[in-house]
Each structure stands twice: as C-alpha cells, then as structure tokens.
Amino acid sequence: MVDTGLILPAVLRGARKRCPHCGIGPLFSGWTQLERCTHCGLVFEPNEGDTWFFTIIGDRLPVAITIVIVYFNLADFSRAGGALALIAIVVALIWSTPNRWGVGVALHYLSRLFWPDPADPMP
C-alpha cells in the first residue's frame, strides 16, 4: 500500500524542478529534461511520451483560464491594459514552463507508485 502522504512532497519537489522521489537530483539541465536522477537513479520517463498527459494538462489549464476570462469578460481591460495583460500571461507561461513540466513528471511518478508495473525500475 502506498502512503498518500507522499503526494504533496512529490508534487512540490517537481515544482522545484527536483527529483520527485528523493528531492535532491535535478529534473532539468537548462531546458532539457534529464533521463534519470543523478542522486537516486530514478528514471523519470521509462517510456517515451509517458509524461505527455500530465504536461498537456499543466500547459492547457492556464490557457483555458485565460480564455474563460476573456470570453466571459471577467476583467474589463482597455486596449493598453489588455496588451499588458497578454504580455504578462505569455511571460508567466514561459517563465513557469519548467516548473509545470516538473509537476507533470511528479504526477507521472506518483501514478507509477500507485499503479506499479513489475517491469518498471523504481528505486
């Protein structure tokens, strides 16, 4: 049985761009995701594309929220205010990309813990 107290620490480690298992090894070298943790040896993505679901959800939620705000006119912007808001959103999305990808890796790690595969090398 997997301890549900592992969920929040693993997600927070991923958000800090650290290994969701040990919290010490880095997930990225610049903008490139590493293959495995340099500290504990966890393979972050055993099969190519395993983290796509979590990454796509993490990338699409902020965009969807922005679309809802614009579509339902939840914020009344002037033309200049709208342009500044758009620039701020784009900068925030780009700046937080590695953190959101790290959360995606952490969620994938948790799915591997809760539904283990005997062929999956977990430390």
Tell me: the pLDDT tens digits for 76-105? 777 787 788 888 888 988 898 899 899 999
Q: Is the pLDDT of residue 1 over 60?
A: no
What pTM does this model have? 0.80
Nearest to 93 by CA among 43, 59, 68: 59
* Residue whose C-alpha is closest to residue 51's, from 13, 104, 117: 104
- 43-58 pLDDT, tens per residue? 988 888 888 888 888 8
